[in-house]
Amino acid sequence: MSCYEANFERLMWLIPDIQSMEGLALSEGRDLMDLQLEVVERCRYTLTIALTHYFRSDGALVSDPYMKIRIYLDARVAEVLNYQNHRFQLFRPSSILDELNLHEKRQINKFLGEWLDYCISQGHNFLPEARYTNV
């Protein structure tokens, strides 16, 4: 669970005003790649966001990586739901996950932490004044 807790803390650093975040936002970092955040779903105790890096390749915009992340505001944890359109089973105490699924979930959530560390080190953040609604 420490990975999920650490990812929550990283997301709070990246998106300090997450409680009131709506719609789309862009962040420009020192890496010259746009980081896009979209609030996909907001519930009482959870928030689902889509996060992607956009870079140019042969004149086209390419999103890589692309993740949907569920943030559990009450439990202060975050987990990857979807990576590059590959869906992962939600972790619940009653879930039956085989060893392969557990390993895959651990790896992708570890990668999320590394990616968030990179984004933070490049100066990305989603402060209220940096939001764009027509991305």
Q: Which tens digits make up the pLDDT trace of 25-75? A: 999 889 888 899 999 999 999 999 999 988 777 877 777 789 999 999 999
Average pLDDT over residues 7-32: 91
Confidence (pLDDT) at 62: 72
Q: Kindly list the distances between the CA atom of residue 65 and the CA atoms of 6, 16, 85, 88, 92, in Å, as whole numbers in the listed order.
A: 19, 22, 10, 15, 25
Model confidence at 131, pLDDT cuts 50, 70, 90, reads low
Reported as a pLDDT band with limits 50, 70 and 90, residue 15 is: very high
